[in-house]
Amino acid sequence: MDESKAFLVKRLLHLGVGSVFVVASVWLIISGFIIEGFAIEYQIEGDTFSFNFTIVLDVVLLVVGLVNLSMALRLAKLPRNTIVNFPLTRLLAGTFLVLLSLTSAWYFGVSTGHGNPLGTWLFLGGLSLFFPTALVPMIVGFTLCVYCMFCFSKIHFERISSDPDLLTIVDIRTPRGKVAEIKVDEIESISLTNASTGPKYLWILVFIIPIVYLYIDGFSFLLNPSSFGNAFGTGIAYVISASVQLGCLLLLLLDSHHILKILAGDRIYEQQFTPANIKSWRRANIGFMLQPRSSRDEGSIKKQTSSTLPEPPVTRQPTDYKRVTIGILFIVLGMLSRIFHAWAGEMLRFMLFIAGIILIVEGIKMDLRGFGRQIDSTHVPEGMIYSMRKGVYKSELMIPHTIEPASIQQLVQPRKLALVDHVVITGLAFFLGFQLYPVIVLLGPETGIGASLATWNILAIFGIGALLFLIHVDPRSVLKFKHGDRNDQIVHARRSRRQYNPIWLFRNFLAKYKIAFNQHGKSVIARILEYWVSVVLGMVASAIVYLG
Amino acid sequence: MKIRPRKRLQLNTYRVTSIIGLLTPVMFLGSIFGYAGYLFQEIPSFGTDESLKPDPSQFIDVNYTRLAEMAEFYDERFEAWHIPINFCVGAKFTDQNYNVCSSYAFSDNGALWTGSAMAGYVGKYLAGIKEGNAILKEDALRVIEKLVQGMSMMLAVPNGGLGPQYGATVARAFASPEHRATIPGCQYLFNMNHFKYFNGTGPYSDWRWSDFTSNDEYGGFYMGLGLAYKFINGTSPLEESIRSTLAVMIDQVCAGMLRSNFLGITGHGGPSGVDQKMLGFQGATWTLLVLKMGALAHPEKYSRLYYHFVAEELHAYFNRESGPQEILSNYFAYNFGMDVVFALLMLEEDPTLLNLYLENFHETIWSNVRYHRNPYFNSMYLAANRFEPGDSLDYELDVEDQLMEFDINHFPDVYQGVEPVPGNYELVNLSRWENFFQNSAIGVMISPLFLEFSLDKDVYNKPLTVKMRKTSIFMWDGNPFHPSSNKIDLLKEEPGVSFTAPYWISRGFCGFIETTGGRT
C-alpha cells in the first residue's frame, strides 16, 4: 500500500474512532448514565455530599474522541521540514498520577475525622489516607496535564541558500510563535542532545519524600506479623502509590527531551523539543536541520567528501558502568540502613537515594553507550557532524570547517562536571559529616558503642569519598573544540575491542589517573577538596545545631 | 526558542527586572509566613511572660504533716475506690459517707491517668526507701503491682497477649464479661455499635476495649512503664515479679512499635493517625523513650538501636516538644508532652546526653509552662534537673503552696466549687486577633494555620491556682488560663492523683518535702 493510501486509511480510522467516542460520550452525558459505586462521599459541616466520577470518564472519552477527529480532519500531511513537538512522557506521567489520585479518592474517601475504618493520617482522627497516597500525585498530575495542553508546537526549519545563507527556525505555538534567522557562516557550533536532564532533577525533590515514606509504611503494614484487617489493603495501596510515583518520576527523568543549541556570532540559540511521532523523531538530527528539504528520504543529507576536521582517533564510544553501579549501590545502602536501623540516619539516607537516582539516570543516558558502536562522523558542506547514539539517547555536535586547527585539542582530562555532580558530591559529604559529629561527641565510652559507630561512620566517609572520586575524576580521552569562551568536546575510547582484558584495563586505569593528575592536578585536587570541605562543613553545621 | 547573548554574566535591565520579578513573590510569601511564625509566638506570649513569675512571699506556709495526712487519705481512697479494674477511674457514691459506689466514672483516658498515678507511686516507693519507711514502701509496691497488672492488660487485651511477638496497641480502657456484671460504669464498652469499642484478641476475644488510642495515652503509659522499671530495683520476690512483667511489656512495646514504624494501629487494622516519629525536626522524644526503656530492660536487643537513633538519626538534637501555641489551643498536649520528656530525662543517666536533653527541655516545653503554677510540671522540672533540696527554692515553694491549696476546697477530691478569682486577674483581649484573622487580607490568608487557636474563649492574663480551679480526674491536663466552672457535686470523687502525683514526685524523687513539721 503506498504512502497516500496508508495516510487515507489512517485518517479514516481516526475519523471512525473519534466519531464513536464523541457520540458515545455525548449519549452517556445526556442519558445521565452513572457507574454505581464509582463515587466518593464526604462531609462538610455535617452535611454529606457525593461525587460520582462517571462524568470524569465521559469527559475523557469526549476529549479522546475530539482529538481523533481533529487528527482525521487535519488538512495536510506533515511538511517535510517540520518537527512536531509534544511532551508525551509528561502527559503519560500526569495521566498516571491523576488516575492514581482518582482511584485513591474512590477507595479511601476524602473525609476527615474518627471512625474511618480504613485509617487516618497525620493525627488521631485526622485526614483520610487519600492525602498521603494521592495529594501530591493529584497536584502534580493535574499540573502536568494542564501544562501539556499548552505545549504543542511545530518547529519549521528552512534554509535559504542565498546571500546571506540563512537558516530559519520557526517555532509555531500558542499564543505566540518565535522566529530565529541565523547566518550560516556565523555558526561556530551546533549541538543536539536528548541525554541532558538538567532542571528535571528537581522532580526528585517533589517525589522522593512521599515515595520513601509510602514504601516504608506500606511494607511495615504488609510484613508486620501482627498485621490484620485493613492493614493489608492499606499496605498494598501505599506500595502501589509509591510505585506509580516512582515510575512517573523515572518517566520524567528518562524522557527524550531534545536540546538544540546553536552558537552563532554573539548569540546562543536554544530550542527545546520532544518529538511527538516517529517522523519527527527521525528528523531530530543536525543534518536534517541544516538541510531540511534535502531529499524525500529524510535520513540522508548532502555530504562532502573531504574535510580539514579530524575524525576521532579511535572511533569507539566508551562504555562505563561506574555511575550506574555506584548509583544502585547508594540506593541499596540507603534501603539496608533503614531495614536494619544501622549507619545512615534519615537525612543521609534521603541524600543516598537522591544521589543514587541521579547517578543511575546520568549513567543510563550518558555512559551506557553500546560498546563497539562507532562515533559517526559525517562531512557536510557546513562542517563535520559527530554523532554518538545508543538506542533512545544520542548526542550530536557540528563543528564548522572554519574553526582554526589551533582550537582543536586531543587530551586526557577529568570528566566535565555538571551542577548535579556537585550536588551529589557536596550533598553526600555534608550529610556524612553532619551525622559523624553527634556520633563522636554524644556517644562517649560509657555507652560502650560510641567507638564502633564512629569507626563505621569514618570508614563510610572514606569509602564513599573513594567511590565519588572514581566517578567524578574519571579521566577521559576527549577531542576538544574551543570557541572563544566556550568549548565543546567529544569523549571517545582509545582502545579497540581486543584490548579489553583485565590487566590492560588496570594499567590503563592507573595511567589515565596519572595523566589527569599531571596535566590537571589543580582540578583533581579541587574535586577532592570539594568533598572533604563539605564533610567538614557538615560537621560544623552539626556542631552549630548541637551547641546552638 | 530562547535567544540569549553569549556573554552570560552581563547584567542588563531585562535580567535585573527578571531577577527582581522572580524574587518578589518569593520574598512576599516568605514574609507572610515569617509573620505567621511570629504570631504563633506572639499571640500566646501572655502565657510565657516573665511577669507571670509568682511572688513567693504570698505563698501559704507549708505544713508537711498535713500534706502527709492528705496523701495518706488520697492513697487509701485511690486503692479502695479508684482502681476497680487496676486502672485509674473516678467514682460516684450514693451518699457522703463515700463507702457505697453507685458507678465508676471511666474517663476513656485510662492509660494516661494510670501512668500519672504510677509516677506518683514510684515516688512513694522511693520515698519509702530514702526515709527507711518499710510500710510506705510496701504500700507503694502493693498498689504498683495492681497498676502494673492493669497496664499489662491494656497491652494484652487488644493484642492477644504479652510478649514481643504481639502488637503494641494500648487500650484506653478494657473490661471482661465479669466486669460488665460487677463494675458499674464499664457497660459503655459493651456498646457493639460504637466505632471506638472492640472485642479483644485471642484469649481475650470476649473482653472489650476502647480503641483509637491517642498519644496522650501512650505518653502516660510510657512514663509509668519506664519509671517503674527504672526505679523499682529491689530484690524481694514482689519487686522482681513486677520488674519481670514490666520487662515483658517493654519488649512488647519496643518490638511492636518498631514493626509498625511507630504508627498507632486501630482495631480495624489500619493506621489511627497516631505517629510517634520525629516530624519537622521535633518530637523525637517518643522514639528515644521507647528505645531507652528497651535498652534498660533488654540491652542486648535495643541498646545499639537506641544509640543509633540518638546519634545517627540525630534524635538527640530534636527531642523538642511543644510550642507556645498550645496555651491557646491544646493545653493537654503539655501534660503528655511533659510525661514523655520527664520519663526520658529520668531514664537517661549519661551526663552528655542528659545535658543535651535537659537543654532541649528547658528551651521548648519548659519555657512555655514554667510559670503556670503547676505543681506536677514543677516537681518534674526539679526531679529531672537532679536538683538537691534548696537548689531551686522558688519552685519548691510554689509546689508546696499549690499542694497546700488542695486543703481549701479539694480535700477530699470531690467537686466542692471554686474560690472566686481575685480582682487582679484580667481577661486578655484576643478580639483584635479574631478581627485580624476574619477581616484583614493577610489574616484571612494565614488564618488556616491558626484554626486551633481558641480566640473566642475567655482567657485570663495569669494562671488560676488550685483553689480557683475545679477538680477533675487530673487537674494538670486543663488550661489554667481558662475560667473554671463552679461545678458542685459532692458525691463524685476523683482519684486524687492531681495531688498525689506531684506530692510523691516531690517527696520521693526530689526529696525536698519532709514527712512532718514545716519548712525551716
SS (H, E, C) A384-451: EEEEEEECCEEEEEEEECCCCHHHEEEEEECCCCCHHHHHHHHHHHHHHHHHHHHHHHHCCHHHCCHH
- Mark which of A77, A112, A130 sits at the end of a domain: A77
Which of B382, B369, B373 is closest to B467 using CA atoms? B373
> Is residue B439's pLDDT more than 80?
yes
Query: pLDDT by residue (tens digit) across A442-498?
Result: 998 878 888 999 999 999 999 999 999 989 888 888 888 887 777 788 777 655 555
Has residue A310 been placed in a domain? no
- A546 and B215 in contact by Cβ < 8 A? no
Q: What is the mean pLDDT of residues B472-500?
A: 96
Closest Cα in chain A, distance from residue B308 (Å):
7
Residue B134's pLDDT is 96
User: Taking CA B181 as the corner, what is the angle to CA B175 and CA B187, rounded to the nearest 5 degrees?
Assistant: 55
Has residue A166 been placed in a domain? no
C-alpha neighbours within 13 Å on the C-beta side of residue A461: 24
C-alpha neighbours within 13 Å on the C-beta side of residue A268: 14
In chain B, the residue whose alpha carbon lies closest to the alpha carbon of A345 is: B313
- Spatial separation of the C-alpha atoms in residues A338 and A346, rounded to whole Å: 8
Which A positions 226-245 lie with beta carbon below 8 A of chain B?
A: 226-234
Which residue's entry shows cell 580521552?
A477
> Is residue A500's pLDDT more than 90?
no
- Mark which of A48, A77, A106 sits at the end of a domain: A77
A-to-B residue pairs, Cβ atoms closer than 8 angstroms: 167
Q: What is the domain range of residue A52? A: 1-77
User: Taking CA A414 as the corner, what is the angle to CA A329 and CA A358, rounded to the nearest 5 degrees?
Assistant: 35
Q: What is the ipTM of this complex?
A: 0.91
Q: Which residue has the higher pLDDT, A4 or B501?
A: B501
- Mark which of A77, A92, A121 sits at the end of a domain: A77
Closest Cα in chain A, distance from residue B462 (Å):
30
Which A positions 255-274 lie with beta carbon below 8 A of chain B?
A: 263, 266-272
Residue A215's pLDDT is 97
Cβ atoms of B436 and B453 within 8 Å: the answer is: no
Q: What is the mean pLDDT of residues A91-98?
A: 95
Q: What is the mean pLDDT of residues A148-175?
A: 82
Q: What is the mean pLDDT of residues B149-165?
A: 97
> Is residue B354's pLDDT more than 50?
yes
H helix runs in A474-501, sequence order: none
Confidence of residue B187 (pLDDT cuts 50, 70, 90): very high
Q: What is the mean pLDDT of residues B310-322?
A: 94
Closest Cα in chain A, distance from residue B214 (Å):
6
Residue A374's pLDDT is 66
Closest Cα in chain B, distance from residue A402 (Å):
19
- B313 and A346 in contact by Cβ < 8 A? yes
Closest Cα in chain A, distance from residue B279 (Å):
10
Q: What is the mean pLDDT of residues B72-82?
A: 97
Residue A493's pLDDT is 63
In chain A, which residues have their Cβ closer than 8 Å to the Cβ of B162?
A: none
Strand arrangement, sheet containing B174-175: B174-175, B208-210, B197-199
Q: What is the mean pLDDT of residues B139-163?
A: 98
Residue A291's pLDDT is 82
Q: Which residue has the higher pLDDT, A294 or A538?
A: A538
Give the Å distances, CA to CA, from A337 to A333, A438, B420: 6, 18, 59
Residue A231's pLDDT is 94
In chain A, which residues have their Cβ closer than 8 Å to the Cβ of B214?
A: 124
Instruction: List the single residue in A263, A272, A341 with the smallest CB-CB distance to B6.
Output: A263
The domain total for chain A is 2
Helices (H) and strands (E) in chain B, counts: 17, 10
Confidence of residue A521 (pLDDT cuts 50, 70, 90): confident
Which of A378, A428, A366, A411 is closest to A520 using CA atoms? A411
Which of A260, A292, A282, A271 is closest to A191 using CA atoms? A260
Q: Cβ of A339 under 8 Å from any chain B Cβ?
A: no
C-alpha neighbours within 13 Å on the C-beta side of residue A508: 16
A198 Rama sector, left if φ>0, alpha if ψ -120 to 50, beta otherwise: left
Closest Cα in chain B, distance from residue A121 (Å):
4
Residue B369's pLDDT is 97
Q: Of the ranges A45-49, A282-286, B180-184, which one carries the lowest mean pLDDT score?
A: A45-49
Closest Cα in chain A, distance from residue B450 (Å):
16
Within 8 A by CB and 6+ apart from B44, the residues are: B324, B325, B326, B327, B328, B453
B245 Rama sector, left if φ>0, alpha if ψ -120 to 50, beta otherwise: alpha
Q: Cβ of B100 under 8 Å from any chain A Cβ?
A: no
In chain B, which residues have their Cβ closer than 8 Å to the Cβ of A180?
A: 1, 3
> Is residue B423's pLDDT more than 50?
yes
> Is residue A386's pLDDT more than 60?
yes
> Is residue B427's pLDDT more than 90?
yes
Considering chain B, what percentage of its residues have pLDDT values greater than 70? 99
Confidence of residue B10 (pLDDT cuts 50, 70, 90): low
In chain B, which residues have their Cβ closer than 8 Å to the Cβ of A173?
A: none
In chain B, the residue whose alpha carbon lies closest to the alpha carbon of A272 is: B1
Residue A314's pLDDT is 52
Has residue A309 been placed in a domain? no
User: Taking CA B145 as the corner, what is the angle to CA B233 and CA B473, rounded to the nearest 5 degrees?
Assistant: 115
Has residue A223 been placed in a domain? no
In chain A, which residues have their Cβ closer than 8 Å to the Cβ of B258?
A: 341
Residue A298's pLDDT is 45
Instruction: List the single residue in B165, B270, B353 with the smallest CB-CB distance to A230.
Output: B270
**Hey, what's the cell of A323?**
555511575
- B3 and A224 in contact by Cβ < 8 A? no
In chain B, which residues have their Cβ closer than 8 Å to the Cβ of A346?
A: 313-314
What is the domain partition of chain B in residue ranges?
Answer: 106-250, 430-458
Query: pLDDT by residue (tens digit) across A194-251?
Result: 988 989 999 999 999 999 999 999 999 999 999 999 999 999 999 999 999 999 999 9
Residue B23's pLDDT is 85
Q: What is the mean pLDDT of residues A423-440?
A: 96
- A229 and B7 in contact by Cβ < 8 A? no
Q: Cβ of A122 under 8 Å from any chain B Cβ?
A: yes
Q: Cβ of B281 under 8 Å from any chain A Cβ?
A: no
Query: Considering chain A, what is the average pLDDT of its residues?
Result: 85
Q: Which residue has the higher pLDDT, B346 or A43?
A: B346
> Is residue B280's pLDDT more than 60?
yes
Instruction: List the single residue in B2, B260, B314 with the smallest CB-CB distance to A347.
Output: B314
> Is residue A63's pLDDT more than 50?
yes
Which A positions 32-51 lie with beta carbon below 8 A of chain B?
A: none
In chain A, which residues have their Cβ closer than 8 Å to the Cβ of B212?
A: 114, 124-125
Q: Cβ of B53 under 8 Å from any chain A Cβ?
A: no
**Hey, what's the cell of A523?**
582540578
Residue B441's pLDDT is 86
Neighbours of A404 (CB within 10 A): 9
Residue A439's pLDDT is 96
- Spatial separation of the C-alpha atoms in residues A103 and B235, rounded to whole Å: 60
Q: Cβ of A343 under 8 Å from any chain B Cβ?
A: yes
Which B positions 165-194 lie with beta carbon below 8 A of chain A?
A: 165-167
Q: Cβ of B357 under 8 Å from any chain A Cβ?
A: no
Neighbours of A347 (CB within 10 A): 18
Confidence of residue A295 (pLDDT cuts 50, 70, 90): very low
Query: Considering chain B, what is the average pLDDT of its residues?
Result: 94
Residue A172's pLDDT is 83
- B196 and A114 in contact by Cβ < 8 A? yes
> Is residue A41's pLDDT more than 50?
yes
Closest Cα in chain A, distance from residue B200 (Å):
13
Q: Cβ of B202 under 8 Å from any chain A Cβ?
A: no
Give the DSSP H or E segment for A56.
Answer: helix A54-73
What is the distance between the terminal CA atoms of chain B, rounded to a whole angstrom? 87
**Hey, what's the cell of A455?**
569507626
Which of A496, A513, A478, A310 is closest to A395 using CA atoms? A478
